[in-house]
A and B are shown apart, each in its own frame.
Chain A
Amino acid sequence: MGWAASFRAILFFRKGNFLKTDSSQLFLMTKANPYITDEELVAACLKGDEAAWEALLERYGRVLYTMALKSGLGPDDAADIFQMICFILVKNLPTLREPGKLHGWLITTAKRECWRLRRLRRIPVVALDELLEKGERLEPSGGRADLPEANLLLIEQQHKVREGIKTLGLKCQKLLWGLYYAPEPLSHQQLGRLLEVSSSSIGRLRARCLERLRAALCQMGFE
């Protein structure tokens, strides 16, 4: 399947095949898609391909929105930040020097826009070093500090793993969701029923899926 067909598949599967994990989070289940690089998506966007643009939003929406939330902004402000970054990206798409480094560009832009919004709102921005000196915790700090680096690394790691999982087959996606993303992890018996396999084979299947995930992430240049 070519990348253009993959965009369509993403759009098609958006409409269904979601498994609800809690009221605010949906885990997207699609049939396995070959990984489309950021360069390919940017090139398609420049030709006006709406599906490519939607695929980019699908890829980075969660990271950018969550970054804003975890830097202490409320849901409305976080939505504004996401919108602002997209607006800047559309304007900058034709002049992006290295589309392959889009991920880093978006993270830097998100950090800057969060900082700028806080400044506009006159929310005091306290340097992380200053907090450390005072012995404050490195947790999201109610709008006081910038997003701590450790939190950012975890968000990026979670994003990469999600991207990797999307390239796996539906059986592996369901298994990993049931084991690691569900609010209440499913038992091997439940997973066996869900996947229509014997519960005794879940251990082997889990190892196989994780091995495939590792290979996929490696191929995507994430590891």
Chain B
Amino acid sequence: MRCYSFETLVSYVDGSLDISAVPAVDSHLTSGCAACGEGVEWLRKTLHAMRTDDLQAPPRETVDNVLEYFRKVHRKSFLASVRRCVDAMLLFDSSRQPEYSGVRSVQGSGKQLLYQADHYDIDLRLHPAEPSEYTHIIGQIMVEDDRFDQVSGIPVHVSAARTLLWSTLTDTLGVFYLRSVPQGRYDLKVVLLDREIDIHDVVIDKAV
């Protein structure tokens, strides 16, 4: 028996073929026609993939961070650059501030740590997450004169006991997010073009 046209096979798989024509196609396929069998199999798989397609694009701002990182890497030989290491100095820890009598406390709703290294400031906000043993860290790297181009698309590495755990990239304002960080003691490394800033001993505990 002659093979069916691709158009007929599409209608057969799609369920739009005239009902009276279906038995003949069934019988042709069961007779073992390899060409039509492969066509039907391909159509079933492909139409199923199209009909069930729910692929979602990553958020635009995440893509922008990654694009900016790529730009930095290639414009300035970022990966190969020799950088000096600078330890950041803790300037402010909100949990060490005295609580004033009669003033509502902000303890328990978060903690702020402010570091400085050369002309960079690094602001870390620690917020309680769910479940309670986790903390969200929102950081921002700031530079004099708000030169955001210097602090966007910058890698920030998180490690514990000298083991690299995670890396993230800053956004266009130098902000980075470390979500649901378990309790522990962490080191952060901010990799800028000409220097690496180390922030040692960021302690995440229940007190946040």
Q: Which residues of A contact B107 (CB under 8 A)?
A: none
* Cβ contact of B70, chosen from A53, A77, A161, cutoff 8 A: A53
Q: How large is the interface on A (under 10, 10 to 19, 20 to 34, 35 or more residues)?
A: 35 or more
B6 touches A210 (CB 8 A): yes
> Chain B: which residue is nearest A45 at the CB level?
B70
Indicate whether A66 sits within 8 Å of B46 (C-beta atoms), given known contacts A87-B66, A90-B70.
Answer: no
Digitize B170-204: 1 where CB-to-A-CB distance is under 8 Å, 0 elsewhere. 00000001011010000000000000000000000
Within the assembled complex, what's the spacing in Å between the Cα atoms of A154 and B49? Answer: 7
Q: Give, as a whole number of angstroms, the nearest-CB distance from A10 to chain B.
A: 13
A selection of 13 A-B contacts at a CB cut-off of 8 Å is A25-B55, A48-B75, A50-B71, A86-B66, A90-B69, A121-B134, A121-B180, A157-B49, A180-B51, A204-B7, A207-B7, A213-B46, A214-B42
A62 touches B49 (CB 8 A): no
Q: Which residues of A contact B67 (CB under 8 A)?
A: 50, 53-54, 57
Digitize B129-151: 1 where CB-to-A-CB distance is under 8 Å, 0 elsewhere. 00000100000000000000000
Q: Give, as a whole number of angstroms, the nearest-CB distance from A98 to chain B.
A: 21
Within the assembled complex, what's the spacing in Å between the Cα atoms of A65 and B59? Answer: 9
Stretch among B29-37, B83-91, B94-102, B160-168 lining the A interface: B160-168
A:194-214 near B, CB below 8 Å: 203-204, 206-207, 210-211, 213-214
B70 touches A50 (CB 8 A): yes
Q: Which residues of B contact A69 (CB under 8 A)?
A: 56
Q: Does B25 contact A (CB under 8 A)?
A: no
A:74-101 near B, CB below 8 Å: 75-80, 82-84, 86-87, 90-91
Give chain A's interface residues, CB within 8 Å of chain B: 24-26, 45, 48, 50, 53-54, 57, 61-66, 69, 75-80, 82-84, 86-87, 90-91, 117, 120-122, 154-155, 157-162, 176, 180-181, 203-204, 206-207, 210-211, 213-214, 223
Within the assembled complex, what's the spacing in Å between the Cα atoms of A45 and B79? Answer: 14
Number of interface residues of B (CB under 8 A): 45
* Cβ contact of B182, chosen from A45, A121, A158, A162, cutoff 8 A: A121
Q: Which residues of A contact B53 (CB under 8 A)?
A: 158, 161-162, 180-181
B155 touches A87 (CB 8 A): yes
A206 touches B10 (CB 8 A): yes
A61 touches B54 (CB 8 A): no
Within the assembled complex, what's the spacing in Å between the Cα atoms of A83 and B179? Answer: 14
B56 touches A66 (CB 8 A): yes
Within the assembled complex, what's the spacing in Å between the Cα atoms of A31 and B7? Answer: 25
Within the assembled complex, what's the spacing in Å between the Cα atoms of A213 and B66? Answer: 31
9 tightest A-B contacts by CB?
A48-B74, A207-B7, A180-B50, A62-B55, A65-B58, A86-B66, A157-B49, A79-B62, A82-B58
* Cβ contact of A223, chosen from B42, B167, B168, B180, cutoff 8 A: B42
Give chain B's interface residues, CB within 8 Å of chain A: 5-7, 10-11, 16, 42-43, 45-47, 49-59, 62-63, 65-67, 69-71, 73-75, 79, 134, 155, 165-169, 177, 179-180, 182
Q: Which residues of A contact B65 (CB under 8 A)?
A: 83
Q: Give, as a whole number of angstroms, the nearest-CB distance from A3 to chain B.
A: 18
* Cβ contact of A161, chosen from B50, B59, B71, B167, cutoff 8 A: B50
Q: Give, as a whole number of angstroms, the nearest-CB distance from B23 to chain A.
A: 20
A76 touches B177 (CB 8 A): yes
Known: A78-B58, A157-B46, A158-B52. 13 other contacts (CB 8 A): A45-B70, A48-B75, A61-B63, A65-B57, A79-B59, A80-B177, A80-B179, A82-B62, A83-B169, A84-B167, A90-B69, A160-B49, A181-B53
> Chain B: which residue is nearest A84 at the CB level?
B167
Within the assembled complex, what's the spacing in Å between the Cα atoms of A25 and B70? Answer: 26
B55 touches A180 (CB 8 A): no
Q: Which residues of B contact A120 (CB under 8 A)?
A: 165-166, 182
Q: Which residues of B contact A157 (CB under 8 A)?
A: 45-46, 49
Q: Give, as a whole number of angstroms, the nearest-CB distance from B169 to chain A.
A: 6
